[in-house]
Structure 1
Amino acid sequence: MSTLERARCRLQAHPLALDAALAAGALVCMVAGSFVQPHGERDVNWILRAPDPFSLLLIVLGAMALVFRRSAPMAVLAVTGGLALVESITGDPRAPVAMCAVIALFTVAATTDRPTTWRVGLLTMTVLTGASMLAGPLPWYAQENLAILAWTGIGATAGDAVRSRRAVVQAIRDRADRAERTREEEARRRVAEERLRIARDLHDVVAHHIALVNVQAGVAAHVMDKRPDQAKEALAHVREASRSALNELRATVGLLRQSGDPEAPTEPAPGLDRLDELAGTFRSAGLQVEVARADQDTALPAAVDLAAYRVIQEALTNVQKHAGSAAKAEVSVVRVGPHIEVTVLDDGRPAQDGVPGTGGGHGLLGMRERVTALRGTLTTGPRYGGGFRVHAILPVKTRTVAAGERGEPV
């Protein structure tokens, strides 16, 4: 923060001190103006003169009233206008007492609405100028009378301009605050929708495993007496399917399906085994996609397999939206120790028509939610030289799967 901004903050924190300083400055200007007067018809020369004591008294009273201009603007305008009216009729016509009324009129215009400014400004201008022209000691066409007309008009206009500028700045700030709140609410809504989508997908996975359990249990019951070896094999499949279903149920804790959602599909949730099909879909849409896999056909838990598929799907969708159909994307799936790493790169070339793609910008939130739910990590950002990079690291085995294989309770 600069020195000027710090000084302005201090003055705004102490408005009475600011008004007192303004009143002191106006008092100095008015007193200095009361000691000089123009002399000469063609060449104007300023000479010193002895001010009228009564005019000095009015000047001091007007300056004192300005101290309270912010707390009682209308009352201060009435007091300073009355002092200027008295001075213009009975005192020295060249004493600058009207400066107090101009400052007070500026304050009224800056703190009220435009209709009030028009009414009060015209009234002040008419009364002071008319009194000076009709009852003052100088001719009605004297420049001092015209100066009162001009300065009161300038004071009202300047105050109205300041008020309008403050209103515009406040409107801009309010609009920015509303836009920020709207963005935050939209982001929260997108996250909630993505969590519900995750819950639906995981529900489909669990439903698939439960269906397998039902079928294998029926087989075991049918062949238990005649073919016990086949019954044991069916029961092993039941155990494996039930363990997978339990893992998926644990992953869906806290995520609920809302009423009115579409019916769940009967086919299993997609995974990396459908990666080639996914890439072909984008190729048919005009996007150049290259796929490289070095995961050694690793068998992934259903939740991890689904999350990897969704990350690639969302990343390629973003490439098509934001980079255009002329862009080139590279997808890689690599097994690195106990993790599976999914990377989607694009070269960031613009669309052929030169119009950038549009999108809500919330797809990254959904990807992050999926990866974080599985205790993985997701990094996204622009690439050096152009393009974008999405990199997800997912565990090959979740904690519940690892605990089940060790025989621990899950």
Structure 2
Amino acid sequence: MTASLERYTERHPHAVDAVTVLALFACAVLGAKLSTSGASRPEQEWPAELLAAISCLAVFRARSHPRTAVAVTAVSTVATGALGYLLSPLLLAPVMTALYWLATLTDPKPTRVYGAATMAVVVTTTVLDDPTGDTLLLRTVAPFIWLLLPLAAGSKASLRRAYLESMQARAAHAERTREEEARLRVAEERMRIARELHDVVAHHMAVANAQAGTAAHLAPTHPEQAQKILADLTGTTSSALLELRATVGLLRQADDPDSLEPSPGLDRLPELISACESAGLDVTVTTEGEPQPLSPGVDLTAYRIIQEALTNVTRHAAGHAAHVRLAYSGSRLLIRVTNDGTATTAPADLADGFGLMGMRERAHSIGGDLSAGPLPEGGFEVTTALPFHPHALKEHEATP
């Protein structure tokens, strides 16, 4: 019932104010007829009714002008008391309503100032009206208490409204935060999908292109070798389809999308080397230190970085040899991939590609780092250091 009344009040404030004004005017008219025993009452009631009408009109605008409403109703109330009318709660109803709206809609400081001034002038008026009467205590204390009640009720309503606004602001902030987190997760997922698809498709397509070109070159003079390369080409395209199907299947799973365990790792490095060699690239692999077990995420990252580096050698390098060095040192795996030829694509253009950007993102995502650039003696180098187990990425100081 209370909630419905509050909703109606919020939707139709002017209608509620009009009903309130009529009720206040009726109370004031009835209050003008009251008097204490033994006390004289003005014969005419219209002055009190006129002043009550003025007070009620001021109360009608109390929502938008609470200070003005308090001032007008206070003056009208003082004038009514000066005319000899008993300031009962019925006659005080307009000024009490104005004080309530003042306490509800304004800050505590103006509420205290206007409230104290109103109570002071009203009580002073009652004292000056009959300073020696037997009902002096009743005529002074009662108005003070009646005027204090709307101030307390209005202050409580103001605190409640401030609390509700604070809760709504917190809810809105939480909603915005959830939306921002959702957008961030979507962006991160899109980047992850883009990296995965690039690593799967770009490598196999580059190797398949090199195999097809080599087979076409050898077909007239060495048909047997061309036939063998074409057979390897079938395996390359089959591997591409399988990995692409596995990637799409992983995206369809309802489990954690960051699960990397079904993905390839360094145990499939011989297959990768074999595919590159069938495309005409001579790859040598050296391992230093005792191989250590890697977490699935690190294992996948190491494999993808080597895969992308060899893909770039196949696509952009003029030479036909690449070197892969794996070094297990302390708690990190150091990977270095180099080629002995001159890059057919400018290093600046190569560094701006999605492949190197994806390698850096992969390395940083597990707490590692990666650098790539041309070698002084010719060729290109990709170097990365990866932890055996991923950890939170540490903040690095920005370089000038």
After TM superposition, the score normalised by the length of structure 2 is: 0.55
Q: CA deviation at 1:194?
A: 0.6
The residue correspondences of 1:226-375 to structure 2 (distance < 5 A) are 226-235=221-230, 237-238=232-233, 241=236, 301-309=242-250, 314-315=255-256
Amino acid at match of 1:301: L
Aligned CA distance change for structure 1 residues 164 and 194 (closer, same or farther; 3 Å): same
Quote the Cα distance in structure 2 between the aligned partners of 1:82 and 1:16: 24
Q: Is the CA contact (8 Å cut-off) linking 2:29 and 2:48 kept in structure 1?
A: no
In structure 1, which of residues 107, 110, 113 is the aligned counterpart of residue 101 of structure 2?
107
Q: SS where residue 93 of structure 1 aligns? A: coil
Is 1:118 matched up with 2:59?
A: no
Report the CA distance shift for 1:57/1:184 in structure 2 as closer, same or farther (over 3 A): same
Q: Does 2:56 correspond to 1:63? A: yes
Give the partner amino acid of 1:126: A
Does the 8 Å contact 1:55/1:91 carry over to 2?
no
CA RMSD of aligned residues (A): 3.5
1:213–1:238 contact (8 Å) kept in structure 2: yes
Whole-angstrom CA distance in 1 between matches of 2:8 and 2:162: 22
User: Which moved further from structure 2: 9-18 or 178-187?
Assistant: 9-18
> How far off is 1:25 after superposition?
1.0
Please point out which of 78, 81, 87 is paired with 2:74: 81
Are 1:19 and 1:67, in contact at CA under 8 Å, matched by a contact in 2?
A: yes
Residue 84 of structure 2: aligned partner: 91
**In structure 2, how many angstroms separate the alpha carbons of the residues matched to 1:4 and 1:99?**
22
Q: What is the CA deviation profile of residues 339-393 of structure 1, one whole-angstrom value per residue up to 9, with x for unaligned ones?
A: xxxxxxxxxxxxxxxxxxxxxxxxxxxxxxxxxxxxxxxxxxxxxxxxxxxxxxx
SS of residue matched to 1:103: helix
Contact 1:105 1:121 survives alignment (8 Å): yes
Note closer, same or farther for the CA distance 1:177–1:316 as it changes in structure 2 (3 Å cut). closer
Q: Does 1:192 align with 2:187?
A: yes
CA separation in 1, counterparts of 2:146 and 2:21?
A: 18
Is the Cα–Cα contact under 8 Å of residues 61 and 69 in structure 2 kept in the other structure? yes
Instruction: Using structure 1 for the length normalisation, give the TM-score.
Output: 0.54
Alpha-carbon offset, residue 81 of structure 1: 0.4
CA distance in 2, matches of 1:33, 1:313: 74
Conserved? CA contact 1:213–1:241, under 8 Å: yes
1:13 corresponds to: 11
Alignment coverage as a number of residue pairs: 255
C-alpha distance after superposition, 1:302-356 (max 9, x if no partner): 22212334666944989xxxxxxxxxxxxxxxxxxxxxxxxxxxxxxxxxxxxxx
Go from structure 1 to structure 2 and tell me whether the alpha carbon gap of 1:126 and 1:36 turns closer, same or farther (over 3 Å shift): closer
State percent identity of aligned pairs.
Answer: 33
Looking at structure 1, the residues matched to 234 and 173 of structure 2 have their Cα atoms a distance apart, in angstroms, of 54
C-alpha distance 67-211 of structure 1, shift in aligned 2 (>3 A): closer
**How far apart, CA to CA, are the structure 2 residues paired with 1:19 and 1:98?**
17
Q: Distance in 1 between matches of 2:83 and 2:248?
A: 90
Unpaired runs of 5+ in structure 2? 260-400
Q: Distance in 1 between matches of 2:135 and 2:112?
A: 24
Q: Is the 8 A contact 2:31 2:91 kept in 1?
A: no
CA deviations on 1:145-202 (whole Å, 9 max, x unpaired) are 1111112221222112211211111111111111112111211110110111011011
